Chains A and B, each alone.
Chain A
Amino acid sequence: MTSTLGQHAVTTAPGTSQAAPPRRRARKSGFQSPSINLFYVPALAILAVFSIYPVISGISLSVTNWDGYSPDRSFVGISNYLRLGTDPIFRMVFTNTLIYGIGSTIIQQVLGLGLALALNRRFRGRSVARAIIYLPVLVSPVIMGTMYYLLFQYNFGALNTVITGLGGEPVAWFANANYAVIIVVLVNSLQFVGISMIIYLAGLQTIPAELTEAAALDGAGSWRLFRHITLPLLQPAFATSVVLNLIGGLKLFDVIRVLTGGGPGYSTNSVSTYLSIVYFGEQNAGYASAMGVVLFLLIAVCTLGLNKLLDRGRVDL
């Protein structure tokens, strides 16, 4: 409780608030009254009804055999979850989901950081380049998927037009499961690389020029500047970008629907798209709900784990 006393000393005696140690103490104890919490009541009310309640309701549906429309359903315990472990299609789409999430995240960090470093320099056309890289973020994945279909389709597709023009045989890109999965990862990564770029650019702008100038004066070269000043100070941007990209990749839905339709067979489905097939196609709402719970848990575990991991390496100015 000594910190509370210290806080009073700060707030009642303005003269002392310039001193660094008391201010740090004041921040720790929190200088506002609990009534400030009223500020999050409207947001929490909306989230409680339209986000949190459906999650809980979904969990309770996942232990039933509900078909999605009839009034009766019976409790079936964890049998839906047990079935997930033995369903070969689910195991495949689960693996695909991991590939989409991790693959997209890696590609987007490498490209996003590279682009941010390149576009943080002053040169003519910089803002145009930024706008072009960011452009696809604005477009619905449904529409982006359709446009990329024009690139990869077998007949009249742009890529095959080039290949046959060079004397090669046209490739059925979407008939090969491996190609199709890679194409989905690439399309998703390129579409949203602008988000990573913007986050890294924002991070770069928080690095004070005096810091890099001072280090340069002290004789640090480009690489050492990057390694020991830029990179550690980009840690918060890195954490934000990785977490957002991973979540985006793991819940991939729209682009798969348009680009491959989940095919060939089930081989490019993610958990999200397979879930929709099970629910809308096979009227198995209970089983689909169990998939939803597992998908949510997967994303939750990855994200919270990452947050903990990434927070440890954080450097504050």
Chain B
Amino acid sequence: MNKQPLSATLRTALILGLALMAFMQLLPFWLAVSTASKPPTDLSSVLIPRFHDIAWSNFEQAIEYGNILVAIRNTALVTVIATVLVCVLGGMAAYPLARRLSLFNRFTATLILSLIMIPPLSTIVPLYTLLSNLGAINTYWGQIAVSVAGGLPLSVFLYTAFMRSVPTALDEAAQIDGANVAQVFFRIIFPLLKPVTATVAILTGVGVWNDYALSNYILTDPDKRMIAPAVAGFFAQQSSNLGAGAAASLMAVVPILVAYLMLQKMFMSGMVAGAVK
């Protein structure tokens, strides 16, 4: 933490810059709130919301025609299961990759890392064909499997990077005390990486929750649809009704916001847990 005082000019520039960035980041949400608050007949400036007389019909339409609440439930189911799997399996996979630097393991690490680079759309044809053959289209497990495969490379990458900063002295000490490899990992190493787990959980959870490119093709049944395709589909149906679309967007954002605010404390609590220091 830098405790040095700043010059007055630098201080002002810093505050102005931060204020501008915060304004830019909040502006789109403000516009969505404003648009969602107005009935389609209200053509007043989008910059000023209609808080005195909110058009709840926009939200009613989003729920009724967009099936938003069902989509939120489906998305929550897929997201929770996929995120837990990505954290546990990713952390486990990173352990040998961080600790046993054999030639084969370095190759495996590179292979897994290289999978981060696969753009979802580049493999949509073979992936869809594979899922049809497995009978996994319109099943939650199909979506979960694809989401886990999508999240694992980044998870393994982050866990490996941070696990290397955990001193091997810990593993050595635990082994000398008689712990086997699984005990060392699950009792000593994995709990130390809680901040990384929080990071991985948030990044994966957000990725799965917001997935559009793949879930749009895997879960097409209106009762099984996830939230991003539901919102996008809503826009396609009611292209002239921006108000209801904005309402659907806001409802899609709320659940993940709540989850983030709950996890945020863990998130920044320190990326490297220095147990030995």
Complex Cα distance, B4 from A222, in Å, reads 8
Minimal Cβ-Cβ distance residue in A for B270 = A205
Is B105 an interface residue, CB under 8 A from the partner? Answer: yes
5 closest residue pairs by CB, A with B: A292-B122, A251-B119, A140-B210, A147-B28, A57-B126
Stretch touching chain B among A40-48, A76-84, A86-94, A166-174: A40-48
Complex Cα distance, B14 from A165, in Å, reads 30
- Asked whether B93 lies within 8 Å of A39 as measured between CB atoms, the reply is yes
Minimal Cβ-Cβ distance residue in A for B99 = A32
A/B interface sample: 14 pairs, CB < 8 A: A35-B181, A40-B93, A49-B149, A50-B127, A51-B115, A129-B22, A133-B21, A162-B47, A205-B272, A206-B165, A244-B154, A253-B120, A292-B119, A295-B122
Is A132 an interface residue, CB under 8 A from the partner? Answer: yes
The answer, among A57, A58, A161, for a CB contact under 8 Å with B47, is A161
Is A247 an interface residue, CB under 8 A from the partner? Answer: yes
Is B212 an interface residue, CB under 8 A from the partner? Answer: yes
Is A137 an interface residue, CB under 8 A from the partner? Answer: yes
Complex Cα distance, B118 from A168, in Å, reads 45
- Asked whether B18 lies within 8 Å of A11 as measured between CB atoms, the reply is no
Minimal Cβ-Cβ distance residue in A for B145 = A50
- Asked whether A36 lies within 8 Å of B123 as measured between CB atoms, the reply is no
Minimal Cβ-Cβ distance residue in B for A236 = B161
The answer, among A36, A40, A150, A275, for a CB contact under 8 Å with B122, is A275
- Asked whether A30 lies within 8 Å of B43 as measured between CB atoms, the reply is no
Are A43 and B152 also in contact (CB < 8 A) when A36-B96, A132-B26 are? yes
The answer, among B18, B100, B172, B249, for a CB contact under 8 Å with A147, is B249
Contacts of A201 in B (CB 8 A): 268
Q: What is the interface of chain B, defined by CB distance below 8 A to chain A? A: 1-4, 6, 14, 17-18, 21-22, 24-29, 31-32, 34-35, 43, 45-47, 89-90, 92-97, 99-102, 104-105, 108, 111-112, 114-127, 129-130, 145-146, 148-150, 152-154, 156, 161, 165, 168-169, 171-172, 175-176, 181, 185, 199, 206, 209-210, 212-213, 227-228, 231-232, 235, 242, 245-246, 249, 252-253, 256-257, 260-261, 264, 267-268, 270-272
Minimal Cβ-Cβ distance residue in A for B136 = A50
The answer, among A39, A46, A212, A240, for a CB contact under 8 Å with B96, is A39
How far is the CB of B119 from the nearest CB of chain A, in Å?
A: 4
The answer, among A17, A40, A44, A158, for a CB contact under 8 Å with B169, is A17
Are A296 and B117 also in contact (CB < 8 A) when A11-B175, A150-B246 are? yes
Contacts of B260 in A (CB 8 A): 138
Are A43 and B156 also in contact (CB < 8 A) when A61-B126, A140-B231, A295-B122 are? yes
Are A43 and B119 also in contact (CB < 8 A) when A61-B125, A143-B253 are? no
Complex Cα distance, B172 from A106, in Å, reads 42
Of residues 266 through 317 on chain A, the ones whose CB sits less than 8 Å from some CB of chain B are 271-272, 275-276, 279, 285, 288-289, 291-293, 295-296, 299-300, 303-304
